[in-house]
Amino acid sequence: MSVYDYTATNIDGTEASLADYKGKVLLVVNTATGCGFTPQYDDLEAMYAKFKDQGFEILDFPCNQFAGQAPETDEEIHQFCTLKFGTEFPQFKKIDVNGETAHPLFAELATQMPFEGFGKGLKAKALEKFAKANNKEFGDKAYIMWNFTKFLIDREGNLVARFEPTVEMDEVKAKVAAIL
């Protein structure tokens, strides 16, 4: 399947076809408001502001499956993101990214480009141990290891990169710029 074959529910409750984003470079990300990586919203919004006129979109999917770090309602999450970080990129209703109830888009993307680790260093090692314990209940359907996992899709709908939350945002930005 293509990324364009999927739909998602907008923050306002309407169904959106991802085919509406054909011809654009997409960064699909699962997020949370109470995560140590939540400050990445600043970097994401800066990247969006810089590249949106070149055909770049960030598709934000809040998720509460990682230590309950997004317990708020969809409206509260949206208000938090717009007021605290000034986000203007599209945000969808909260979804699951792991298990039997995982949104099919995330299951597909993660199957195409599986998790290969959080990298090196103490932060990565600590997160790996915590994520492993958190995701044990999902077994072979633990597609995403933690919040702020990002998938980069080119203008033709091809998955070109997966970035774990520990990847420096400058690296994400450089790859987006190269694809644009």
Measure the CA–CA gap between 8 and 6, rounded to whole angstroms: 7
User: What predicted TM-score, i.e. pTM, was given to this entire model?
Assistant: 0.96
Identify the CATH assignment for 3-155 out of 3.40.30.10, 1.20.120.80, 3.40.605.10, 3.50.50.60.
Answer: 3.40.30.10
Both tokens of residue 33?
A: 């408001």
DSSP structural state of residue 50: H
For residue range 52-79, what is the model confidence (pLDDT) as tens digits?
Answer: 999 999 999 999 999 999 999 999 999 9
Q: Mapping DSSP to helix (H, G, I), strand (E, B) and coil, where does residue 91 land? A: strand
pLDDT tens-digit map of 85-107: 999 999 999 999 999 999 999 99
The structure tokens listed for 64 are 């509460």
Catalytic residue, chosen from 8, 29, 32, 35, is 35
Residue 35 known to be catalytic: yes
Range from 34-43, 100-109, 127-136 carrying the lowest mean pLDDT: 127-136
Q: How, if at all, do strands 25-31 and 56-62 pair?
A: parallel
**Separation CA 160–CA 9 (nearest Å):** 24
